[in-house]
Structure 1
Amino acid sequence: MTHLSTDVHTHLAPLLAHTFEGVEEDHEGYLTVDGHHIGAAGLYDARRLVQHLHENGVDRAWVSVPPPLYRQRLEPDQTRHWVRALDNGLRIRLEGRTALDRLTYIPLDQPDVAVELIEDIEDSIGWTAAAGGSSAALDEPALEPVWSALSARRKPLLLHPGESPDPRLGRHYLSNLLGNPVETGIAVAQLVLGGVLTQHPDLVIVLVHCGGIVPSLVGRWSRGVATQRPGIKPETADPAMTVRQLWSDCLGHRPETVDLAMAAFGAHHLLLGSDYPFPMGLDDPYESLAHLPSDLRRRIACNAETLVVNPTKP
């Protein structure tokens, strides 16, 4: 059996077929969304991504739209039209690129729309959604139909941090350098301590940025459960065990960060991820694994194969 390596964390912008209020496109096809210019050239050329994979010895990539396109503050009808345009536009962008698999964005801030997409769209390899930002807490009852729909299909959901709502992070690029990993941690804490993962053991959730702050804090969460801290439900399972249901890329920037993620999630739940084409990503996704034995590097690069299911309804 041939094992294919997969970069699960790459981004491309969609080719939008319609105009939208708040979205502008210049003569080169670059988008400005709600005043945010999305200028990374690599976002607009699928051929460059394919070349990036080839140059680094990676066989495939999962592709999702970048966070500035999430637009979490739209009204429900606006969201419905926007997220479908994103998915159709990404499908068009990837057309003919057999090495690139599409992740469909689902808006967790609009659970009804998210369920519609999960039920209607069959041809994407999985889903992506914002961790944090203006989304509701992930253990809110309103999201229960989303988790049930995702569990039934068993396709992966890649949680990617959106914009941090904390105004203190406006300076020093902290919204990214600190806010992104914290937003991932908040989302996972809600899934773990809120019982979502234990109630839905078939959920396949992938984290980015080496799991954010989760690997370094899960021991603290376990202590909070063991000592029955206020607000912790008595039936809450040990978070150190629950987080092993999760998957994570290895984009940690330090060998010890990758090692900590391996301890938290297990080597069989680590994945290759580059965050192409953004500066905070890696030119070579294998770079973060350079300190590991070659057989382990290869196994991690191919772990995504076990997450791919046939794109059919249950």
Structure 2
Amino acid sequence: MTGPELKVTGPVIDVHHHVVPGFYRAVLESAGLLRPIPGVAYPDWSPATSLAMMDGLGIDAAVVSITEPGVHFADADLARRLARQLNEYLAGLVADAPTRFGAFAVLPLPDVDAALDELAYALDVLRLDGIGLLTNYRGEYLGDPAFEPVLAELDRRQVPTFLHPARPPGRDQPAFDLPASVYEFPFDTTRTIANLLYAGALDRYPGLRLIVAHAGGAVPFLAGRLADAAVISPAVAHRLPADPVGALQRLYFDTALSANPYSLPSLHALADPDRVVFGTDFPFMPAEHAGQSWTRLCRFHAGTPHLLDRIAGGNAGALFPRLLPRAVAHQPVVSR
């Protein structure tokens, strides 16, 4: 890329960065799921491709995760074994490049008992940096009472938890020949947050450090409408949180696929400035797109460079202090 540098004064940490290990691709292929998101091919990936992208854009560290379909497409036994294999792979990736990579562990939900065992192993033995969740597991959303033990443990540990969308369970709605990730992903994120909000989970578990992908889907735009649910339908008044907007403001939001002049104003109208973090969605979105997103983010914050510093890495550094020492001189170089 060419053009003048736009600098930040601190580190740059990408919290929405995926990995696709070769053995995981093979399992997906054997299950007929090499395109688990219809219309979207799983990209070729290796640690070297991530590091090259990060070096090219001046990203100091990335906290990596597995995306849709996770492991819940498999039977319970395979899901447990695959989650363990993925988490041990992630631990090895971090061990090989501890200043460049952090990782969110995979849980074999909706098997809650197995998920709690894997959560403890991933955090206490493998020392991974956080937990990755999907918005729904076989049609069960995170506000379902079945998931309470997992939410309670995440709240107790106050561990960073990355919430990534999955395809909604229904398959009968029209798709318009568009990939679900174009619009169903943010819709499913919105479903999950609405579910958590009106299940009371965001109030019951104030220690949740939930990072919501893609600027929270439609949540920032719909925050006022979500808060007015009891006016729309008095039957839900008994479920209304004491401060619904305040509960939403305790969430963290990443900028992946959302660093644009349409999404950012709504995001910043809702989100606490300390709770917006940088994300690229690499390799599902190519390095070129990440550079363009960075440019748009810089343009939007041209008058608020202190806020840009916080989004670029300061806020993520508070969540992942282990990744802060690599505050090196190279900075993102982007085109205006």
Which TM-score bucket, shorter chain as reference? 0.7 to 0.9
Q: Name the SS of the counterpart of 2:140 in structure 1.
A: coil
Q: Which runs of 5+ in 1 are unaligned?
A: 26-30
Counting only pairs closer than 5 Å after superposition, residues 146-225 of structure 1 correspond to structure 2 as 146-167=150-171, 168-225=173-230
The alignment status of 1:64 with 2:65, answered yes or no, reads yes
For residues 234 and 276 of structure 1, what CA distance do their matches in structure 2 show? 38
* Aligned partner of 1:278 among 277, 284, 289: 284
CA pair 55-245 structure 1, distance change in 2 beyond 3 A:
same
CA pair 226-152 structure 1, distance change in 2 beyond 3 A:
same
Report how far residue 73 of structure 1 moved: 3.7
2:82 alignment partner AA? W
TM-score (structure 2 length as normaliser) = 0.80
CA pair 253-4 structure 1, distance change in 2 beyond 3 A:
closer
* Aligned partner of 2:26 among 24, 45, 51: 24
The alignment status of 1:263 with 2:269, answered yes or no, reads yes
* Aligned partner of 1:254 among 257, 260, 284: 260
Cα shift readout 1:127-166 (whole Å, capped 9, x = no counterpart) = 1111125252222222111111111211111010112223
Q: Name the SS of the counterpart of 1:63 in structure 2.
A: strand
Counting only pairs closer than 5 Å after superposition, residues 45-194 of structure 1 correspond to structure 2 as 45-68=46-69, 70-98=70-98, 99-122=100-123, 123-132=127-136, 134-167=138-171, 168-194=173-199
Q: Name the SS of the counterpart of 1:86 in structure 2.
A: helix
Larger deviation: 210-219 or 165-174?
A: 165-174
For residues 4 and 138 of structure 1, what CA distance do their matches in structure 2 show? 32
Report how far residue 249 of structure 1 moved: 0.6
Higher relative contact order (CA 8 A, sep 6+): 2
Report how far residue 279 of structure 1 moved: 3.3
The question of whether the paired residues in 2 share the 8 Å contact of 1:10 and 1:274 is answered with: yes
Aligned counterpart, 1:28: none
State the identity %.
24
Aligned counterpart, 1:35: 32
Cα shift readout 1:220-242 (whole Å, capped 9, x = no counterpart) = 11111356632342552232111
Runs of 4+ in 1 over 6 A off after TM superposition: none
TM-score (structure 1 length as normaliser) = 0.86
For residues 30 and 296 of structure 2, what CA distance do their matches in structure 1 show? 32
Report how far residue 41 of structure 1 moved: 4.4
CA pair 260-7 structure 1, distance change in 2 beyond 3 A:
same
Cα shift readout 1:168-189 (whole Å, capped 9, x = no counterpart) = 2433224111110011001101
CA pair 4-169 structure 1, distance change in 2 beyond 3 A:
farther
2:312 alignment partner AA? A
The question of whether the paired residues in 2 share the 8 Å contact of 1:133 and 1:164 is answered with: no
Q: Which runs of 5+ in 2 are unaligned?
A: 1-8, 36-40, 323-336
The alignment status of 1:301 with 2:305, answered yes or no, reads no
Query: How much is the aligned-residue C-alpha RMSD, in angstroms?
Result: 2.4
The question of whether the paired residues in 1 share the 8 Å contact of 2:68 and 2:134 is answered with: yes
